[in-house]
Structure formats: structure tokens, C-alpha cells
Structure 1
Amino acid sequence: MRFRLSTILYVFALLAAGMATFGVWLGIGLAAVVLVIWWLIFSGRTKSSTILQVLFLLPILLIIAVILFELVMPKVQGLRETSRVHSCHNNLRQISLALQLYCEKHQSLPPAVATDSQGKSLSSWRVETLAYIEGMTIWSQWQRDLPYDDPANAALAKTAIGIYQCPSDPPVRSGTPECNYFAIIGPETAWANPKGTRLEEIGDLHKQTILLIEAAGLNIPWADPRDLSFQDAFKILTGRSPECVVHRRGEHSGTLRRFFNKQTLGVNVAFCDGTVRFLPIPLDEDLARALLTANGGEVIPPGTLDRLTEPQLDYARIYSLSVFVLLALVPGVVLWRRRNREHRASPIAAT
């Protein structure tokens, strides 16, 4: 290649497309490989016989690059995080099932906050739910007429309940009583009735009304009668509390999925019908409000939630990959045209 302005522009364009597609170091490395190959060809230091062989060489190199990309990624860490993501989702599913069983027995959800006869807060709804999950032993010993931090309950309240913890939340450590799954409380929510909401009192579609939400970094013990207000949950869903968002979907999936799908921040939520979904963050404000209200009368078009929960293609990366491939092939077109001109100008071609 001649050292011209067009060459410099080409090099920078190829580097930019490579970094946008594959990341900084891998992108620079692949762009450098492409440049070295074309330099060898243009300088006459390679014995490639036809331009067709060259054009086939670059796609093969890209395939090799994808394989290398898979090998250099921290696969063990990715597998561990994938396991954590599934654990968080399954925990919420089990808690949701426990609430459904509670409703079948008591014809209502448990009170978000258990209180005594004077209205003093005692413990969280999570204490009552223990009877339907792994904490039956703790629930049978719990003094339900005393606060969770009373000496009679304090030792039990400090017990770590794994099903209430999402292992993807860095502040939550094994052996601590912290939790990651919260009710959304307030007069407009599914937990509006302080004595326990009956499912029939929820006028909106149950499959479109959020009952529980996952949140990170709040450092709230599972027995503590603190949950999230409507505004707290609204800020999480609309992206105004990014520190509370637990997951990044697609970050630890397979190479091709990770490469072509967006890595989306999001949280798991449980709906009143017992289903659990991953919701990408941020949501549209009207949609977030409709999902959080229990009797708002909002109508969410069918398929909206399905489209949200499906992996989204990363079109920016797809476009940048297309540009990178086209730029990688441009010198081949230049070389082909040059050889055609030389062939037409040769004495043999003229005769």
C-alpha cells in the first residue's frame, strides 16, 4: 500500500469499525491482522494466485476470530454468573408460588406488615411466607406477637434465608439476613389492603400487575417490615435508581448470542398470577405505572410484555460488523481493478 491520505483514512476507519464491533483490544487486533494481510499482498510478499483466494481468506479469519473470542472470554466466571441469574429467577418464582399457596389457604395475600393490636409494626410478610418455603422450622419458632428485633426473635431473624437472596447482588453475602425481593406497597398497588389484599380486589389483569420486584443493595433484613413504595419501584423500572438494578441480560450468554444481542440492564418481577419475568430497564413511564397499579384501569396491548422479555438484537453492533467486513474487503476490490487495468494495458492483452 502506498502511504497516502486515503490509506491513513482507511486504517483509522477499519480500526474504528473493529473496536465498535469487537471491543478495543480484539478490534485493534483483528484490524491489524487485516492490514498486515493486505500489506503483504500489495507489497508482493505473498504468493496468492488469485483475488478470489484473498476474498475467501478474510471471512475465514473472521470465523477464527469468533472462536478466539469465545476462548478468551472468562467462561468459568460466565457460567457461574449464569447460574446465579437462574437462582435469582427461581427464588422469586418459589416466593411467588408460596404467596399463591398462602392465598389459597387464607383467601388473601399476607399483610405487607404484621402489626399488633396497637398498630405497631412487628415483621414483614416474608415471615408468614416462611411456612410455605424452606423456613418452616424458623416459622414454627417465631413469636408472631413480638417484633422481629425482639430478643425472642432476634436470633431467628439473623438467620440467612437463601431463597430471599439473589446471589448476583454483590452486597448480599452468604450468611447474612439481607434480602432482595420486595413487595410494592401503597394504596395504588397490589398490597393496598393493610390486612391482606384479596386477589379479587385487584381489578387490573393479574398477569399485568406486579406483586414483587427484585432490587439490589438495599441492605434490608428479610424479617424487617420494610418494602418499596410505589415511587421507589417506579424509579427502578424507569431507570432512575440504577444502583438497585441486579442483572445485565445477555452478558454471560453464548458467544453468538452475546455478540448479536443487546446486554440489557433489568430486574426480575413477579406478577399477581404467579408468573415471573425479566423486565429491561428503563421502561416507558406509562408502562411502568400501568404495571405497578392494581386498579388503575390501564390497558396494556397484548404481546407488549412478551416483546420486552425477548432478547433484543444489537443492531448497532450488526451494522458495525457489516462496515468492518466491507472495509476489510475494499482493498481486494482496489487490487482487482488494478490488475484489470494492468491486464488491459499489457502488450499481450493489446494484441
Structure 2
Amino acid sequence: MTFRISNLLYLFALVAASLAIFGAGGLLLVWGILVFWVITLAKPSSGYASIAVAGLILGVIILLLMPAVEIGRSGARQAQCMNNLKQQALSIINFHQSLHRLPNTAVQLGDTDSMHSWRMRIVPFVESNHLYDSYHFDEAWNGPKNRQVVGTLPIPFYECPSHSHPTKSNYFAVTGAETVWGDGERRSFDDVSDELANTILLMEAAGRGIHWAEPKDLTFDEAVELLTTPLPTGDHDGHRVEHGYFYKPSYVRNVAMCDGSVHSLRVPIPREAAVALLTASSGENIDPEWLERQSSAELDYGRVWVFSLFVVLAILPGVPKVRPWVWPQITNSTTRAEASPLGPSSSSPD
């Protein structure tokens, strides 16, 4: 068995590509590929059969790299978080249909409604009335009687499973004169001139330490900052979503729109887009395709290229015309004899 420089370059490229894809475990895969070709080429058969077998092995490798059929734990938590937002948005819509207005938020002043969160107001629309009937609207949310009702009571649909803190809310309205919720006045969807499907109603935010019954929400400026700032390291807020080996992970923040739809926005987004999504009557147009792309996975072209290179390198020994350049020549007496232009040597009698 003889080596050429081209053989060593081939081996180096195969090892490098395998390590880039599989990490240290790629060395075992390279070993398996080399053993496969040693066995296959030691007993020559149809070149097409060799390529077919190699293609089958690589097909199995591709399947191993593709996303699992079952949603992983992080994906399941992300799905549950979006479902929580969906429930809340639909409950607010049902509240609006019943009373022809939105529930009051933390900024309302001048009446007893200012002491209570919209999250308490929509409770009858998402579960039984028992909690709502036990609540005392004649005192503040953290008054003596209400502390006994909601003080240590967690509400699952106000907690994101990825950032679960019992009794704390991960979902907020966005208040301000420019928003659908307004800045102290009672508002209605009829006050929204922008598309309901392009106007944010609720936003996810973690780690704010606000009790779900507490009448506190996000200001317009706080919401803009959350949408235009990259998520912090360690997934303390928002979500890191894995889509499979060939895709970039997405760092997303969930939002619910005024029409009840829910989106996972890859953050950060441009400030102009954040302002357009948060304002209710500013006249900006949001491209529906752009909004859809924000919730879609992005191909990682670097990984696609490296894997394509790995596939080509792994099957090259099966291509007869290329084999001498990438694979050590296997020589023995039999093959030398068969290759001789004079044919097998024979002895003649003296």
C-alpha cells in the first residue's frame, strides 16, 4: 500500500470536515468510513455498488442530523409559552366582545379599577369563576383580603415554562398613548386604525418580578428596548429555539397581536419595525411576509457547505477515476500480474 501527498491531503480534509460537523465524535466516523473503504476496495466489485452503499450510510448520517420528530424539551416549553399568550389574547378579545372595550391596565386612574390588573379581569374567560368570585374589587390587589386569595396562588397561563417563577407574570400589556391600550383612557379595538394583525397586544418578558395580579405592565419605551435588544446570554429572557443541525438557532421573543395571532419574533428587530408593531394608529405598513420570516428558521449556509464537502469526500474513494488521487494504492502480486501488459508469466521447458 503506497501513499501520495494527495492521499494525505484527502485524509486531512475528511478529518477536518468531520470534526467541524460532529466534534470529537467525528474521529470515530472517519475511522468507520476508512474501514468501510478498505473492506470494499480490497474485494473490488461494481463501482456503482460501492457508491450506493456509501450513499446509504451517509443518508443515515443525514437523518441523524435532522430535527427529531418529537419536539424537544425547549421546543415544548416554547410551544406552551405561545399557547399561554394565545389563551390570553383570545380572552381579551372575548372580554372586548362582551363589554365593547379592553380591560383596564395599570395606568388607569381615578376609580377602583386602577387597583387591579387586566390579568385579573380576564380570569373568568380562561378558567372557572371561582377565583374571580373570591376576589375583592373593593380593595387593592394586595389588600388584606386579596392577599389571602392571590398572594401565593400561581396561575399557569401567566407563567412561561422556560422562566417559571410561581405567582410571577411573564406576559404584559404595552401601555402608552401610541399603543392599543392607551395611556389612562379606556380603549377599544375600534380605536385602532392600523391592521389588528400587525399591532402588538401582549408581550412576553421574564425576570421582572411582577405578581400576576399586580397592576403593572410595560411602557412603550420598555417594549421598544426589549424588541430591539439582543437576548441576554444564558436564556434569562425570551427563548433560544433549535431548528436542527442545518439551521441557525433563533433567539425569539413571543408576542400576541390584536387579532389573536401569536408570533415568535427573532430579536433584535429594527427600531422602525418595533415602533410600527407597537403603535396602534401610526399608519405604518408591516409586510406580512417579513413578519412571517421573523418566525421562520434560517439556514446556516456555512454548515450546509461543510456537510456537502464531507459527503463528497466520504464517497470519493468509490469513484474509480478519482480513487488513485484520494486513496492509497492497494497493490499485491495478483493485481500486478493482472495489470502486466505481457499477462501472467509462464515458464517454458528447457
Q: What's the TM-score, normalizing by structure 1?
A: 0.80
**1:160 Cα deviation from its structure 2 partner:** 0.8
2:230 to 236, 240, 247: 240
CA deviations on 1:251-304 (whole Å, 9 max, x unpaired) are 4xxxxxx23443312122110112112222232332222112222221123422
Aligned residue in 2 for 1:148: 141
1:223 to 196, 203, 213: 213
Q: Distance in 2 between matches of 1:335 and 1:343?
A: 20
Aligned residue in 2 for 1:166: 160
Aligned residue in 1 for 2:181: 191
Structure 1, gaps ≥5 residues long: 252-257
**With CA pairs under 8 Å and 6+ residues apart, which has the higher RCO, 1 or 2?**
2
Q: 1:85 aligned to 2:66?
A: no
Contact 2:74/2:241 (<8 A) preserved: no
Q: 1:94 aligned to 2:90?
A: no
Equivalent positions of 1:42-81 (< 5 A) are 46-66=42-62, 78-81=71-74
Equivalent positions of 1:196-345 (< 5 A) are 196-242=186-232, 243=235, 245-251=237-243, 258-333=244-319, 334-335=322-323
Q: Distance in 1 between matches of 2:130 and 2:269?
A: 40
Bigger radius of gyration: 2
Q: Taking structure 1 as reference, are residues 28 and 136 closer, same or farther at Cα in structure 2, changes over 3 Å only?
A: farther
Aligned residue in 2 for 1:254: none
Moved more, 154-163 or 129-138: 129-138
Q: Distance in 2 between matches of 1:90 and 1:110?
A: 20
Contact 2:106/2:217 (<8 A) preserved: no
Q: Distance in 2 between matches of 1:195 and 1:244?
A: 34
RMSD: 3.3
More helix by proportion, 1 or 2? 1
Question: Partner letter of residue 52 of structure 2?
Answer: F
Question: Partner letter of residue 31 of structure 1?
Answer: V
Contact 2:169/2:212 (<8 A) preserved: yes
Q: Distance in 2 between matches of 1:327 and 1:196?
A: 66
**1:153 Cα deviation from its structure 2 partner:** 0.9
Contact 1:269/1:277 (<8 A) preserved: yes
Q: Distance in 2 between matches of 1:281 and 1:7?
A: 46
Aligned residue in 1 for 2:28: 29
Contact 2:206/2:236 (<8 A) preserved: yes
Q: 1:103 aligned to 2:102?
A: no
Q: Secondary structure at the match of 1:224?
A: coil
Moved more, 94-103 or 136-145: 136-145
Q: Distance in 2 between matches of 1:36 and 1:187?
A: 70
Sequence identity, in percent? 34
Q: Taking structure 1 as reference, are residues 5 and 233 closer, same or farther at Cα in structure 2, changes over 3 Å only?
A: farther
Q: 1:178 aligned to 2:168?
A: yes
Q: Taking structure 1 as reference, are residues 152 and 57 closer, same or farther at Cα in structure 2, changes over 3 Å only?
A: same
Contact 1:246/1:267 (<8 A) preserved: yes
Q: Taking structure 1 as reference, are residues 36 and 245 closer, same or farther at Cα in structure 2, changes over 3 Å only?
A: farther
Contact 2:116/2:214 (<8 A) preserved: yes
Q: Secondary structure at the match of 2:122?
A: helix
Q: Distance in 1 between matches of 2:138 and 2:108?
A: 8
2:126 to 133, 137, 140: 133
Q: Taking structure 1 as reference, are residues 230 and 14 closer, same or farther at Cα in structure 2, changes over 3 Å only?
A: farther
Q: Secondary structure at the match of 1:27?
A: helix
CA deviations on 1:173-215 (whole Å, 9 max, x unpaired) are 5xx2012111122222222232332112222211101111122
Contact 1:236/1:244 (<8 A) preserved: no
Q: Taking structure 1 as reference, are residues 106 and 119 closer, same or farther at Cα in structure 2, changes over 3 Å only?
A: closer
CA deviations on 1:137-192 (whole Å, 9 max, x unpaired) are 222222223222222111222211111112122xx15xx20121111222222222
Q: Distance in 2 between matches of 1:90 and 1:186?
A: 26
Q: What's the TM-score, normalizing by structure 2?
A: 0.80
Aligned residue in 2 for 1:13: 13
Q: Distance in 2 between matches of 1:2 and 1:222?
A: 73
Q: Taking structure 1 as reference, are residues 153 and 4 closer, same or farther at Cα in structure 2, changes over 3 Å only?
A: farther
Q: Distance in 1 between matches of 2:337 and 2:88?
A: 75
Q: Distance in 2 between matches of 1:250 and 1:343?
A: 57
